[in-house]
Amino acid sequence: MIRQHIKNHEVGLLFRRGDFHRVLAPGMHWLPGVAFGRDQVQVLSTLDTRFNHPLLDVLIQNPELRERLLVVDLAEDQRALVWREGRLFDVIGPGRHAYWQAPFSLRVETFTVADVELRHPQLDAVLATTQARAHLAAVDVEQHERLLVRRGGEVIADVGPGRHAFWTRANVITWKAVDLREQLADAQGQEIMTADKVTLRVNLVVAWRIVDAVAATTVVDSAAGAVYREAQLALRVAVGTRDLERLLADKDLVANEVRAAVTPRVLEFGVAVRSVGIKDIILPGEMKTLLNQVIEAQKQAEANLIRRREETAAARSQANTARLLAENPMLLRMKELEALQGILAGAKTSFVFGGGDLAQQIKGLLAPPADG
């Protein structure tokens, strides 16, 4: 007789001639067949929680053993989280899995990978486990980004900022982050001919941002390249229909015309134009010299015009003054005295008045001279 002791946290499996015979519960067992090599005992610890055995499919057919186990059978498109005492214990994929129901309390959550994304209140705890890395891929999306998730080339999810986890399913799931921040399309040194056949270079800046991440990645290969191309074409049309003088006078009008042409076009692939501006208009060297000469002649003509205008105003003022003095002899006499005062300013001059009425003498100074 062979004595076999099964501890309280253990379960014994008795095999007879290679076939499973029965379950040995905790306690003392006398097994005569073991001594003759007919029987064999496998002792398993329930503290391991997970029941791993090559004959799992056969063993779970036994009602006594099945009662002790929590069996999880997952289809090809299913995944499960196994929690032990409120803590994540295992992440499992397709197949049959078994766990000892004692001495720990177990809870199983089953998910379908067709949902693509795992949404869970304890997502960080799930992603922290080693087992999760075999089934899940984690992506952190910044505040200024949108994440496009594709399966087989098809966009199946469009998610915003935060941490996201996706079922990998043999890596058929791919994703791409799209930047939603404002960007610049800088069209430098565009050589364009104006309506009056002057070739010049124009530097244009377009501020834009993506408003539809799906359209920006499916309608065009590169949103930045498409915005640059549309701005370049619109600029050539706006400059080519104007002569040089109008172009230099209406740079803001040209920028607004470019924006009006570009805005509806880029909206088709999910882009909104924020602003358009012309930074520089660079003329050829000889054209710059001629333009400076023209400007100099214009300014000289304006200066001459202003000078003649001032001279005319001064002559008109003098004529008015002369007419006023001719009509008022007393006023003329006062002007003469003012002139005399100016001439004698700073000189030591004395006026001597004789006897008689002083007022009459002053009046005589102010009286107009006698004719002849």
Give the model confidence (pLDDT) of 108-167 as tens digits: 999 998 888 899 999 999 999 988 988 898 999 999 999 998 887 888 889 999 999 998
Residue 20 lies in a domain: no
The confidence band for 349, taking pLDDT boundaries of 50, 70 and 90, is: low
CA-to-CA distance for 157 and 138, rounded, in angstroms? 15
Beta carbons of 217 and 148 less than 8 angstroms apart: yes
Tell me which residue of 228, 279, 271 sits closest to 255, measured CA to CA: 279
Check whether 372 has a pLDDT greater than 50: no
Q: Domain count for the chain, please give it.
A: 4
pLDDT of residue 27: 93
Check whether 352 has a pLDDT greater than 50: yes
The model's pLDDT over 184-242, given as tens digits with 9 standing for 90+, comes to 998 887 888 888 777 888 889 999 999 999 999 999 999 999 999 999 999 999 888 88
The confidence band for 344, taking pLDDT boundaries of 50, 70 and 90, is: low
Domain holding 168, by residue range, is 116-179
Residue 270 lies in a domain: yes
CA-to-CA distance for 10 and 45, rounded, in angstroms? 4
pLDDT of residue 191: 81
Residue 33 lies in a domain: no
My answer on whether 226 and 138 are in the same domain is no
Last residue of a domain, one of 154, 179, 204: 179
Pairing verdict, β 78-84 and 106-112 = antiparallel
Q: What residue type is 244 in one-letter code?
A: L
Mean pLDDT of the chain: 85
CA-to-CA distance for 80 and 359, rounded, in angstroms? 126
Check whether 246 has a pLDDT greater than 50: yes
The confidence band for 280, taking pLDDT boundaries of 50, 70 and 90, is: confident
